[in-house]
Amino acid sequence: MSKSSFSKLNFLVLTTFLLWIKTYIVYKTSFDIKIESVMQEFILFINPLSFLLFVFGLAFFLKEKHRNAYIITVSVFTSLILFANVVFYRFFNDFLTIPVLFQTSNMGDLGSSLTELFKFTDLLLFSDIILVILIMKLRPQFASMETFTRKERKSYFIIVAAVFFFNLGLAEIQRPQLLTRTFDREMLVKNIGTYNYHIYDIVLQSKSSAQRALADSSSFVEIENYIKANQKKPNDDLFGVARGKNVILLSLESTQSFVINETIDGEEITPFLNDFIGESFYFDNFYHQTGQGKTSDSEFLLDNSLYPLGRGAVFFTHSGNEFNATPEILKDNGYYTSVLHANNKSFWNRDIMYDTLGYDRFFEISDYEVNEENSIGWGLKDLEFFDQSIEHLKSQPQPFYSKFITLTNHFPFELNEEDKMINEFTSNSRTLNRYFPTVRYQDEAVKNFITRLKEAGLYEDSIIIIYGDHYGISENHNVAMGKFLGREVTPFESVQLQRVPFIVHIPGITDKKPELFSQVSGQIDLKPTILHLLGISTENDIQFGSDVFSDQKMPFTVLRDGSFITDDYVFTKNTCYDKSTGDEIDQVNCEPYMEKAKQELDYSDQIVYGDLLRFYNGTSYTEDQGFPKILDK
C-alpha cells in the first residue's frame, strides 16, 4: 500500500488501536491468563489485532456515509463481548461459549449474583467509544474515510491475513495442535485472542450440531470397545450390600473438601459432617468434574457416568438425546425416582431434562411454601427446604431414589445475621469471607434432615449419599484462599481444591465399621458405585466411571478442562506435578495418561453430540435405523 493509502486509514487505525490496547489491558487486569515466557506475552499482546483489522476493514466496502456508523457499531459490539466475558470470568473463571449465551432462561434467576459480579469500573470498558464519538463530532475531517480502490482493499486484507497467520504460526509453535484442545479455553484465548476464539466457538457449535445428523451406529463401535476394555469388576463384598434400600442423595451446593475438619476462630465449619464421616465411608480424594453447566453438570455425571460438555451444559444443548440414566435403570428394578429442589423448574432446563433421564417426579418451587421470611439469596433456605421435603419423601412409594439439591451455599453466599453460626473469615475476598457461614448453615440443615429422617422412620431403610456438586471459590480468590490454607495456591493447589466431599452412609453397616478411602475418584464414578451397592449389574452399560470400592479401579480422574489426577501425579495447564510434593517435574511422567484423558473426553463428547446411545439398547445395537445388530460378546 502507498503512503497516500495509509493516510486514508488515520481514523480506522486510531479506532483499532484503542480497542486493541483496551483488550490487552483487560487481559492483564480481568483475566488470570498464565504467561510463561516473553513469546507468550507477545502472542497475547498481538492476538486481538488480526480480528480487529479484519472487522474494521469491512467498512471499506460500505458507502462513505455509513462507514463511521459501522465502526461505532463494531466498537460497541466488541466491547460488549469483552464486558460479558469479564463479568462471566469473575465467577466461573472461564470464558463464554455460544451454548452459554443461549441459556437465557437462567438469567431471570441470577439476580443478586449478577449484581455482585458487576463493578462500576466496568463502565471504563466503553470509554474508547466515547472518545471516538467525540472525535467524530469535533474533528469530522479526521474521522472521514476516503474511498479505497480495489487494489488498496486487496493489499489491506493481504496484510490482515499475514498478521493472522503470523499470530497462528507463533501460537502453534508454542502449543502444537492448539485448535484440537477445545476444552482448554484459556489456551485458545491466550493464543488466538478473545474475538477469534468466539468465531472458532461458532464454528465448533455448527460442527457439533451437524454431528447428530451424520452419526450412525458405526460411530459407536470404537467407543464401546474402549469402554469394555476399561471396565472394572465391582467389589464382591459390597456388591448388593444396600439391595432394596431407598437411595437418598444430597447434592451440597458449592461445597469443597477444604472446609472439612477445619475451623474459623476455633469453631468447626462442618461439625455435623465431621461426625457423620466418622460413621460412614468417606473419600478424601474425590473430585468434581463439572464444566460450564456447574450443578446441572454434576447431575449429568451422577446419572449417566458420562462427562459433561466442554462448552455449555448438556441439560440445555442435548436434552432431547437418548440416555441410559440411573433413574431409568432403577425404575426397571422397581424404584420410584424423584428430584427435590426448591427452584424454578425451568432453571438449567431441568423440567425437560429430568423427563429425558426418566425421573418420575420433580418437586420444584411450586411444591414448597416459599416467602421472604424463609428465603435468602437464591431461594428457600436449606433448613426449611429439608423440613418441607420430609413430607414429600413420605408420600413416595418405596424403594425410592431421591436427589436433593441445596441452595443456601450459593454465590454470593448471603445469610441473615440470625442464621450465622460462625464468624466470617478475614481476607481481601468478600466472597471467601462469606462462604464459611453459609457452609456452616448448610451443615446444620443436613444435621436436621438426618434427624427428621429418623423421626419419619426412613433412616434405617435408606442409603444416604452426600457429595459436593462443584467448586464455590474460584481461582480469582487464590490470594485470599492462600491466606486461609497457609500456603500459596499454585496451579497444583488449584486442582487439589477441586476435591469435594463424598460420603456413603449405610445404617447398620458403615456406622459399625467406618472407613476412609484415599484412592483417586470423581463424580464420573457415582453411577456405577450406587448401582453396584444396590446389586444392579452395569456390565452392559456405557459409562466411563468405575465402582469406587473395586480393587481393580484405576487411580485416575480427568477434569473437564483436561487436567487429570493419578495417585502420583497431577497434570494441569500443560505442566506435570509430583502429587506428594506439589513440585513441577518432567512432563514425561504424565505422558502415559495424557492420551487417555483426551480420549475419554473426546469419546464422551462424541456420544453426546452424536446422540449415539439411540443406537444402543443396553445389550446390542438397534436395527431400527437400518444398521446391523452387533451383539456384545
How confident is the model over 298-322, as a mean pLDDT?
91
pLDDT for 117 beyond 80: no
Residues 6+ apart with CB under 8 A from 462: 245, 246, 247, 248, 453, 507
pLDDT tens for each residue of 162-189:
999 999 888 888 777 676 655 567 788 8
Q: Which of 5-9, 314-318, 475-479 has the lowest mean pLDDT?
A: 5-9
Comparing 10-14, 152-156, 180-184, 578-582, which segment has the lowest mean pLDDT? 180-184
3-state DSSP call for residue 147? coil
Asked whether the beta carbons of 346 and 105 are under 8 A apart, the reply is yes
pLDDT at 631: 32
CA distance 243 to 229: 27
CA distance 101 to 120: 23
- When pLDDT is averaged across residues 593-604 and rounded to a whole number, the result is 95
Does residue 587 surpass a pLDDT of 50?
yes
- Considering only 342-346, 351-355, 505-509, which range has the smallest mean pLDDT? 342-346
Neighbours of 141 (CB within 10 A): 7
Residue 280 confidence (pLDDT) above 80: yes
Query: For 189-226, how does the pLDDT look when each residue is reduced to its tens digit (9 = 90+)?
Result: 888 888 988 888 788 777 766 777 778 878 788 999 99
* pLDDT number for residue 346: 74
pLDDT average, residue stretch 96-102: 67
According to DSSP H, which parts of 380-538 are helical?
A: 382-394, 430-455, 478-485, 491-496, 526-533
* Prediction pTM value: 0.76
Q: Higher-confidence residue: 623 or 415?
A: 415
Q: How far is CA 48 from CA 199, 459, 505, in A?
A: 12, 58, 53
Query: Which of 305-314, 339-348, 604-613 is predicted with the least confidence, judged by mean pLDDT?
Result: 339-348
Confidence of residue 586 (pLDDT cuts 50, 70, 90): very high
Q: Has residue 361 got a pLDDT over 90?
A: yes
pLDDT tops 50 at residue 501: yes
3-state secondary structure (DSSP) of residue 396? coil
Average pLDDT over every residue of 50-76: 87
If residue 33 lies in a helix (H) or strand (E), which one and from where to where? none
Domains of the chain (ranges; CATH) run: 3-211 (no CATH), 236-256+285-547 (3.40.720.10)
Cell numbers representing residue 292 in the block: 460450564
* 3-class SS of residue 222: helix
Q: Cite the active site residues.
A: 295
For a pLDDT cut of 70, what percent of the chain falls above it? 90
For position 103, what pLDDT does the model report? 56
